[in-house]
């Protein structure tokens, strides 16, 4: 996990966090332009995330929910003022992009797949996002209408020659998407925390909720392709997850949504 030492003064942050910041060594741990993430090195560690107002509420709610299942960090504070601020305890260990894990790709692939299957077998009563597919499809529609189309992240473009072809596929098959498992929503190596190969928790849960398992399966195969620089582990991942629950055609439908962001 990226950590860059920062020189900060506490009054750059909301007053609720001044006391904690004043006794912490602070690192920038951000990995996307949409949010700023600070690692506060004291008392075992904390993460303080800042993003535009209103954008972290779902993540806070889902992190609390996953924490009740022993799957995520404890949410210590959430505030929506000029910006949103989310303070969580640190999940022990390192994420799956650590060299220790990347150097054993078969073991990593199997762990990632079996951990995902275990997540999808859990009950999801009380989940604060009971129908993730509704917003998932709405986002795809909005971005398609706005001209957003990026197939560069996906191997072989999943056979789509254009945005129109991808959209037509999604439109024809969207009725097949289910909301019947608890999703992570962004199931990638940086979002799974291990400690000496023992699972410790998930992070970055803002896209989670109850939805179609193929969303997580799609991202599970993609992250192995992206982080290991090879597509050689796709079939191994699907085998380890369990092909009894996988419809390969649905992965292409998910790809048709994901090219729109």
Which residue in 61, 84, 95, 186 is the catalytic one? 186
Write down which residue in 71, 89, 107 finishes a domain: 89
Residues 6+ apart with CB under 8 A from 178: 133, 211, 212, 213
pLDDT tens figures, 57-114: 999 999 999 999 999 999 999 999 999 999 999 999 999 999 999 999 999 999 999 9
Write down the mean pLDDT value for the chain.
94
Query: Taking the chain (261 residues) in consecutive chunks of 10 residues, what is each chunk's mean pLDDT?
Result: 80 91 90 86 95 97 98 97 96 96 98 98 98 97 94 70 93 96 97 98 97 98 94 96 96 94 82
184-to-26, 158, 195, 203, 256 alpha-carbon distances in Å:
28, 23, 19, 9, 19
Tell me which residue range forms the domain holding 79: 4-89
239 and 166, same structural domain? yes
The count of structural domains within the chain is 2
DSSP labels, 61-101: HHHHHHHHTTSBPPEEEEEESSEEEEEEEPPSSEETTSHHH
Q: Quote the CA–CA distance of 19 and 24 in Å, as a whole number.
A: 9
109 and 85, same structural domain? no
Q: 186 an active-site residue?
A: yes
CATH of the domain at 69: 3.30.200.20
49 and 126, same structural domain? no
Residue 155 pLDDT: 62
Q: Quote the CA–CA distance of 39 and 27 in Å, as a whole number.
A: 5
119 and 49, same structural domain? no
Considering the entire predicted model, what is its pTM? 0.94
């Amino acid at each position: 996990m990226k950590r860059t030492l920062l020189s900060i003064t506490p009054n750059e942050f909301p007053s609720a966090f001044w006391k904690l910041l004043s006794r912490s060594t602070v690192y920038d741990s951000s990995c996307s332009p949409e949010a700023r993430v600070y690692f506060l090195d004291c008392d075992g560690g904390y993460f303080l995330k800042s993003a535009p107002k209103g954008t972290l509420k779902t993540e806070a709610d889902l992190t609390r929910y996953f924490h009740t299942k022993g799957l995520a960090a404890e949410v210590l504070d959430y505030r929506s003022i000029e910006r949103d601020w989310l303070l969580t305890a640190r999940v022990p260990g390192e994420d799956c992009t650590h060299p220790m894990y990347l150097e054993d790709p078969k073991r990593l692939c199997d762990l990632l797949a079996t951990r995902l299957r275990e997540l999808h077998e859990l009950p999801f009563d009380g989940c604060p996002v009971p129908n993730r597919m509704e917003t998932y499809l709405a986002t795809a529609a909005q971005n398609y209408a706005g001209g957003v189309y990026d197939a560069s992240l996906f191997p072989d473009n999943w056979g789509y020659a254009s945005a129109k072809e991808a959209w037509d596929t999604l439109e024809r098959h969207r009725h097949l998407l289910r909301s019947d498992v608890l999703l992570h929503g962004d199931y990638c190596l940086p979002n799974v925390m291990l400690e000496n190969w023992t699972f410790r928790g998930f992070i970055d849960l803002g896209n989670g909720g109850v939805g179609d398992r193929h969303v997580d399966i799609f991202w599970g195969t993609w992250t192995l392709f992206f982080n290991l620089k090879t597509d050689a582990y796709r079939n191994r991942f699907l085998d380890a997850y369990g092909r009894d629950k996988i419809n390969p055609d649905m992965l292409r439908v998910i790809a048709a949504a994901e090219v729109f962001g």
